[in-house]
Amino acid sequence: MFDFKKLDSADWRQVIDSLYLSVKPEMQGPQGFIRRMKALGEPSRKHAISGHMNSFNGRNSLVGLDLDIDALADQMMDINHKASSSLYYDYLSILEAETDLSNFPTLKLIQDFVGGAQNPKISINRLNALLARVINESLSQANKSNAGEAGENIVRAILSAAGLQKDVHFREQYQSSKGSDTDFVFPCVPDGQDGKVEAFLAVQMSSNDRTRLTSSELRQGAVPFVFTGNGLAASKKKLKDIGNKIILDQRSKSVRIVCLQSELDFEMKRLTATVDKGNAPSDIVDRLDYFDNFGFSMEAFADYVRKRFL
C-alpha cells in the first residue's frame, strides 16, 4: 500500500503525502488516536480546573474579583498548556507503548516501521515529523476550543462568586425562538420563551471574530452583555485590538461589555489622552463614551446579577 523504502529516496514526498492523507483521519476526529491520547490526561486536567473554580463558590465579598479572575485565567492557561505539551512531546513514547492499533491501520504501519532498528534514520525522522504535523494541527484546533471553554469557565466563576446557580438563576446555551444559541441568559427560562429573558451574555476569550457574532446572540427586549477576555494575562489581545466598527456597532445596540477592570481603565485613559488633545475623531469620542457608559468590570457585573437575579 505504501512503499516505505522510498522514504529515503528522491520520491519521499509522494510517499509522505499519501501517508498524510491516510493517517490524518485516523489520528484526528472524535474516534481518532489523538482523542484516545488526550483522554488519558483529561480527567486530571478537568479536575485541576474545577479545583481552582471551586474557590469562587459563594464569595461573601466581591472585592478583588477582577484580580482573582485574572489569576484563574492564567491558571487555566497553564493547565491546558501542560496537557498540550505532554501530548506534543510524549506522543512518540505513547505510540511506542501502544499495543492495540487495530482501528488505525496506517498508524500501525508507521509504528512498525519506526520501531525497526534496521530502517534508515532519515525515513524514521520523516515519519516522526509527519506525526508531529498531524498532532500540531489537532492541538492548534484544541487550543481554540480550550480558549472558548476557558471563557465560559471564567463567566461561571464570576456567577458563582455572585452566588448564582446554574439552572436556578441562569441557564446556558439558551435556544431562542429564532437565531443562534446564546451562551448565558438570566433568569433561568425554558428555550423559546424570549419574552421572559431579562439579560443575555455572550462569551469570547480574546478573538475579535466572535465579537461580530454577538449581535445575533443577544436578542432585543433584554439587557445585552458581552464578556471579553481581552486584557487578561492569559490573552494576547487588549481592548484596543477590538476595532472601532465593532465597538460602535455594540454601542448602537447598547451592548454592555464585561472585562478586566484594569484593562477598562487603561483603555479609557488611552482614549481620554487623545480626546484631551482636541480635534479627536468622532469615532474615538464615541469609543470613549462606550467604555465609559457601557463598560463593566467583572466585580461590577457580578454585583449587578447578584442584586437583580439572586
Q: What is the pLDDT of residues 200-226, one digit of tens each?
A: 999 988 756 555 545 455 556 789 999
Average pLDDT of the chain is: 91
Per residue in 81-121, pLDDT (tens digit) is 998 888 889 989 989 999 999 999 999 999 999 999 899 99
How does residue 145 score in pLDDT terms, banded at 50, 70 and 90?
A: confident
Reported as half-sphere exposure (CB side, CA atoms, 13 A), residue 253 has a value of: 23
How does residue 302 score in pLDDT terms, banded at 50, 70 and 90?
A: very high
The three cell numbers locating residue 161: 462568586
Give the full edge-to-edge strand order of the sheet including 256-259.
Answer: 171-174, 182-186, 199-204, 223-228, 256-259, 295-297
pTM: 0.88
CB 243 within 8 A of CB 211: no
How does residue 153 score in pLDDT terms, banded at 50, 70 and 90?
A: very high
From residue 133, give the alpha-carbon distance in Å to each of 14, 18, 29, 70, 120. 16, 14, 15, 33, 20
CB 4 within 8 A of CB 115: no
As a whole number of angstroms, the distance between CA 284 and CA 271 comes to 7
Q: What are 271-278's contacts with CB under 8 Å, separation 24+?
A: none
Per residue in 237-274, pLDDT (tens digit) is 999 999 999 999 899 989 999 999 999 999 999 999 99
Under DSSP, is residue 116 helix (H, G, I), strand (E, B) or coil? coil
How does residue 182 score in pLDDT terms, banded at 50, 70 and 90?
A: confident
CA dihedral 149, 155, 160, 165 (to 10 degrees): -80
CB 234 within 8 A of CB 261: no
In total, the chain counts a number of residues equal to 310
Supply the pLDDT for residue 148. Answer: 85
As a whole number of angstroms, the distance between CA 218 and CA 225 comes to 8
